[in-house]
Amino acid sequence: MANTLRLTEKWMHRGLWLVAFVFAGFLIGLGGTVVGDLPKVEKQLSLDDFMDANAATALRNAIKAAERAGQDAQIALEQAQLKRRAAQADSAAARETFNNWLSTRHATQLAEQDPELVSRTRALDALKERERAAGTAVEAQQQAALDARQGAARERRKLREMEEAAQVQLNAEYRRVELRVFLYRLALTLPLLMAAGWLFAKKRKSTYWPFVWGFIFFALFAFFVELVPYLPSYGGYVRYIVGIVVTALVGRQAIIALNRYLEKQKLAEQLPDAQRREELSYDTALKRLSKSVCPGCERAVDLKNAEIDFCPHCGIGLFDHCFKCTTRKSAFARFCHACGTTADKKLQLPRDGADRVPTL
């Protein structure tokens, strides 16, 4: 079609397509913003929304208390272990000293040292008792730390069971929210697609066609890019079923359109030659001729063959002769390319060339 346009018209046509794409771009940006904000309509959900708040709080507090008790028991255990090591060291040192003194006592056999023997034995027993007390304290702190760890683990297990049950409910609610958000998007984009279909059928060749095409591009993008990725998929069934339905609808419309076109062509080919040429627009005829197809039936024709004046498929006239200079020219041309005479018989001068003003 570009070959049939005037130079200025060609550039203006390209500029209008640019307007259509820019218009579509701004609409797509606005639509993307709206579609992106649709999930904000729904409440942001969490596990706590599906758990007993009091029971969950009590379990979390119990876990924190057990963790603090475990930390305190660990600190106390370290202190008790340090004291036990000190008591063990003191007891070992005192026993070594006592053994050395006892060896001396056996060697000297002095009776006056018997009271000291009793005193040293009592001191050694006291140190041993201190060591046993330190060991008991260590065992108590170890037990306290173990109880705290087991208590925390027990409370965590209860909390985890509550969270797992809540997670099942949360996942189910997420699916419902996803479906609702998809329906919001569908309610927004489907009317746009229907409006785009109506504009394509009725207004795509109107005066304001750049805005019509811009809206059509926007609606197609909104439906097939903004909507389709969010189509819920329950094991793929929804996507495949929707794909089958859309394909069936589009295929049905394509078949109907093809049959309607073929029927229209059959009826058109039965009309007189002159009437068929009058019903064809000038730009449409030039566009089809530029592709070496018949303007009437759109079948391929060898237009370079000088012997072909009529379409061998439908019989429409493709070439005729100028009424003034008899030059062979396109039957759809408005003027003769050799002499510039108009092709309209009503405006033709007489064949004898007399200078008479034609009657309009």
Supply the mean pLDDT for the chain: 79
User: Are 281 and 315 members of one domain?
Assistant: yes
- Residues 46 and 99 placed together within one structural domain of the fold: yes
pLDDT above 80 for 286: yes
In this structure, of 112-126, 168-182, 272-286, 335-349, the range with the lowest mean pLDDT score is 112-126
Contact by Cβ (8 Å): 159, 60: yes
pLDDT tens digits for 226-262? 777 677 666 566 667 777 887 898 889 889 888 888 8
Range of the domain at 310: 276-360
Q: How far apart are CA 211 and CA 219, in angstroms?
A: 12
Are 198 and 281 in a shared domain?
no
Query: Residue 303 in 3-state DSSP?
Result: coil
Task: Provide the 3-class DSSP secondary structure of residue 337.
Answer: coil
Give the pLDDT confidence of 310-324 residue by residue, as tens digits.
Answer: 888 888 888 888 888
Each as own residue / partner, the long-range contacts of residues 103-111 (CB below 8 Å, 24 or more positions apart, any chain) are none
Residue 329 — very low, low, confident or very high, per pLDDT cuts 50/70/90? confident
Diameter over CA atoms, the chain: 175
Number of domains in the chain: 3
**Closest-CA residue to 242 (of 252, 255, 232, 257):** 232
Question: Up-side HSE of residue 165: CA atoms within 13 Å toward CB?
Answer: 9
* pLDDT on residue 214: 92
C-beta separation of 331 from 317 below 8 A? yes
Same domain, 141 and 104: yes
Final residue of a structural domain among 219, 246, 270: 270
Residue 356 has pLDDT above 60, yes or no: no
